[in-house]
Amino acid sequence: MSLHALLTWPTPFQPVHSWVLSFTGDEGISTPFSFTLELVSERLELNLELLLHRPAFLAFDQNGNGIHGQVSSVRITRSDQRMSHYRLSLEPRLAELALRTNHRIFQHLTVQRIIETVLQEHGILSDVYAFKAFSPYSEREYCVQYGESDLRFIQRLCFEEGFHYYFQHSPDHHLLIFGDKQQAFTPLTHPTPYVPGKGMVADEPSVNHFEWGVQSQPNRTVRRDYDFKKASRTLQANSRTRTDERTLEHYSYPGGFTEQGQGERLSDRALERHQSGYCQVSGESDQSQLRSGYFMPLSQHHCAAWNCRWLLTQVHHEGKQPQVLEEHGHSQQPSGPGEFIQGYRNTFEAIPADVTYRSQEIYDKPRISSSQTARVTGPEGEEIHCDAFGRVRIKLHWDRSDIESDQSSCWVRVASSWAGDTYGAITIPRVGMEVLINFINGDPDFPLLAGCLPNSINPVPLDLPANKTQSLLRSRSTPDGSGYNELRIEDRKGQELIHVRAQRNMEQHVKNDSSLQVDGVYQATVQGSSVTVLKADEQHTVSHDRKTHLKANDYLHVDASSHIALGQTLTVEAGQQVHLKAGARVVLDAGADITLMAGGQHLMISAAGIHCSSAIQVGGASVPGMPALPLLPGQTERLPAHHDLPVQPAPYQQALMQIAQLFDSDFCPVCEACADGMCLPQGDPR
């Protein structure tokens, strides 16, 4: 086909009058197109920087078929006294996204919304892109762009979700179309006839070469994944073709899903990707309407089954018009036999229109093979922030966002030394701690907290290296606390020690036996009360002396009997009184003798008889024994002090006072107030 190539610029920008000498270009579904143009101009000096990033339209013919893009590179290749040659590249605005890389996090957004965000950051607004024939998609909780260019990031997301994109061109702009169904592609209006032979024979644009072929592909896809929230379930999705041929299975793990429906959709997409590579055609033509992402109707092929619509997946364009040199008095370079020297032609690849297209290009997710560090985050004012699984939020050091709260990341699982069914070990990393982050399967979307790290803000809780022999577990009271609980182990030889500190309370619960052996000295200091409740026997064995000092009262309540056996002597001394009281009988049994002494008199009972230091008098008044009223554990009311009880004279004192009254004489110069037989309170008028 004859070529009428022309490069036009949007008005009022007209940098130079030039002619297109030749061009080549490649375009494909889900990839930016790229065209290289050879221009000639009579203007010898051209401001190349003025052309860079300028939009332009390369027309293939006079019917408006062509490519619209922007200048991505330009250079002068040759210049003489009359004419200069320029090489210029046209690419879509989307291609600029390859020039910016980023590390960032997207949260709670659909893939469509993520793509829109990236495009708008580059000034590609909604008037130059569109989403067509789209299925509803759930949002991604956490999606990381890690060291990828913005373009590759978008292409990877499209690959993972089964999206595709292509371009529609007009003289004033190019439109970027995203879709996930065949209906998103554009049909060409008129069929292109098949005319075998050389392209210059036909009177109208035609396909002059057409190849058809099939290639073995997997016919079954299996995807498996794991979700710790559904740990007992096997997440697996399967898809296969409806043929009876032998099974060629493609198995993927991890499958990238946590819901069964999501896994089935991804498995279907993977199978469609394999099957879209099963039947492919290629051909050559001079039809300038052919574009990737368009349905080409083929006609007049001797194989009737091929006279149908084909989806163009790739097109390579080539055009030459050497006559522009001849028109300006320049000769063209001689060509070899059979070489393409003039006109327009293309080669293309396509698949049947009824086969769902999925990109054959694989865009792997970036992997992080090493550990990273991060900082634990949380809501303002909270020192500990976690969920029911003990997960925390983190801020990775490469994250440049201003989010410093519980929205800085997804919930991140925390590794533990032990984790079982309601048993194990857990320590929740606190807000502000530096932590070590690994990534499950190296996937940036799945961080895992492996441990905590000290730093200049949070130093180690020991004076190192001075105390390098110590091992320590110390917590901190929260919120806004300065106290701590602590377990410290000292392994320095000769100073070995285990130290336990409780900031407030300490509880121990032993379900069976408890044993304590102290080979040295055991010392306990209790600042408050000590309460011990024994529901069975208590046994104490003291191999040496027992020394007890009670600085107040001593209360002992025995519901049954009390037995005390001494090997030698029992000595009891009271500052004022000793009371022994029995409900029935008091028996004092001595093997040799019993002596009672009081007031200078004595009574002795022995084997020799009963001896008294004076005659026994009949009468007198008895003094009742004071009952024992011990406080029980838990009681707080106290008995009256001993000096508050009424003081009664002993019986022998009663007898002496009665005799003194009979003789009207004093028996003691100190006891004048007791003349009536009883001591009177101090100050009595009597």
**What are the distances in angstroms from CA 451 to CA 124, 405, 458?**
42, 20, 14
> What proportion of the chain, given as a percentage, has pLDDT over 70?
88
More confident residue, 341 or 345: 345
| Whether residue 95 has pLDDT greater than 60 | yes
The pLDDT of 461-476, averaged and rounded, is 95
Considering only CA atoms, which of 390, 450, 321 is closest in space to residue 2? 321
Sequence-distant (6+) residues with CB within 8 A of 90 are: 25, 33, 34, 35, 37, 56, 58, 67, 69, 70, 71, 72
429-460 b/e (C-beta count within 10 Å ≥ 16 → b): bbbebbbebbbeeebbbbbebeebeeeeeeee
The pLDDT of 558-576, averaged and rounded, is 90
Query: What tens digit of pLDDT does each residue of 408-440 get?
Result: 999 999 999 999 999 999 999 999 999 999 999
The pLDDT of 317-345, averaged and rounded, is 74
374 shares its domain with 459: yes
| Whether residue 278 has pLDDT greater than 70 | yes
Query: What tens digit of pLDDT does each residue of 12-66 get?
Result: 666 667 889 999 999 999 999 999 999 998 877 778 888 899 999 999 988 889 9
Count of alpha carbons within 13 Å of 229, Cβ hemisphere only?
A: 10
The pLDDT value given to residue 665: 56
Q: How far out from the chain centre does Cα 141 lie?
A: 12
176 shares its domain with 222: no
Taken in order 352, 354, 355, 359, the sign of the CA dihedral is positive
The pLDDT of 117-129, averaged and rounded, is 96
Please give the tally of structural domains in the chain.
4
How much is the mean pLDDT over the chain?
A: 88
The pLDDT value given to residue 199: 46
Query: What tens digit of pLDDT does each residue of 545-554 get?
Result: 999 999 999 8
147 shares its domain with 227: no
Instruction: Please check whether residue 395 lies inside any domain of the structure.
Output: yes
The pLDDT value given to residue 336: 57
- pTM of the entire structure? 0.81
> In sequence order, what are the beta bridge partners of 374?
396, 435
| Whether residue 684 has pLDDT greater than 60 | no
Instruction: Please check whether residue 92 lies inside any domain of the structure.
Output: no
The pLDDT of 56-80, averaged and rounded, is 91
459 shares its domain with 399: yes
Which pLDDT band, with edges at 50, 70 and 90, does 68 fall under?
very high
The pLDDT value given to residue 169: 96
| Whether residue 159 has pLDDT greater than 90 | yes
| Whether residue 637 has pLDDT greater than 90 | no
| Whether residue 680 has pLDDT greater than 50 | no
Contact 188, 298 (CB under 8 A): no
Instruction: Please check whether residue 161 lies inside any domain of the structure.
Output: yes
175 shares its domain with 241: no
The CB density around residue 135, as the number of other CB atoms within 10 Å, is 10
391 shares its domain with 455: yes
The residue out of 416, 450, 469 marking a domain boundary is: 469
Distance CA 179, CA 185 (A): 8
The pLDDT value given to residue 685: 46
The residue out of 165, 182, 199 marking a domain boundary is: 182
The pLDDT of 550-560, averaged and rounded, is 90
As given in the structure block, the two tokens for residue 237 are: 């999705």
More confident residue, 368 or 4: 368
The pLDDT of 372-391, averaged and rounded, is 96
Instruction: Please check whether residue 447 lies inside any domain of the structure.
Output: yes
Distance CA 539, CA 551 (A): 25
The pLDDT value given to residue 93: 96
| Whether residue 397 has pLDDT greater than 80 | yes
Which pLDDT band, with edges at 50, 70 and 90, does 360 fall under?
confident
Instruction: Please check whether residue 46 lies inside any domain of the structure.
Output: no
- Domain of residue 664, residue span: 650-686
> In sequence order, what are the beta bridge partners of 103?
146
Instruction: Please check whether residue 444 lies inside any domain of the structure.
Output: yes
| Whether residue 471 has pLDDT greater than 90 | yes
The pLDDT of 526-539, averaged and rounded, is 91
The pLDDT value given to residue 617: 82
Query: What tens digit of pLDDT does each residue of 263-273 get?
Result: 999 999 999 99
The CB density around residue 86, as the number of other CB atoms within 10 Å, is 22
392 shares its domain with 444: yes
The CB density around residue 493, as the number of other CB atoms within 10 Å, is 6
The pLDDT value given to residue 673: 47
| Whether residue 366 has pLDDT greater than 80 | yes
Q: Specify the CATH number for the domain of residue 269.
A: 4.10.220
Q: Specify the CATH number for the domain of residue 431.
A: 2.40.50.230
412 shares its domain with 460: yes
The pLDDT value given to residue 324: 83
Before 461, cis peptide (omega within 30)?
Answer: no
Instruction: Please check whether residue 432 lies inside any domain of the structure.
Output: yes
Q: Which of 191-205, 363-377, 468-482 has the lowest mean pLDDT?
A: 191-205
Helices (H), 297-450: 323-327
The pLDDT of 165-172, averaged and rounded, is 96
The pLDDT value given to residue 649: 57
Count of alpha carbons within 13 Å of 68, Cβ hemisphere only?
A: 17
| Whether residue 674 has pLDDT greater than 80 | no
| Whether residue 651 has pLDDT greater than 60 | no
The pLDDT value given to residue 675: 46
The pLDDT value given to residue 646: 52
Sequence-distant (6+) residues with CB within 8 A of 236 are: 222, 223, 224, 225, 255, 263
The residue out of 428, 445, 469 marking a domain boundary is: 469
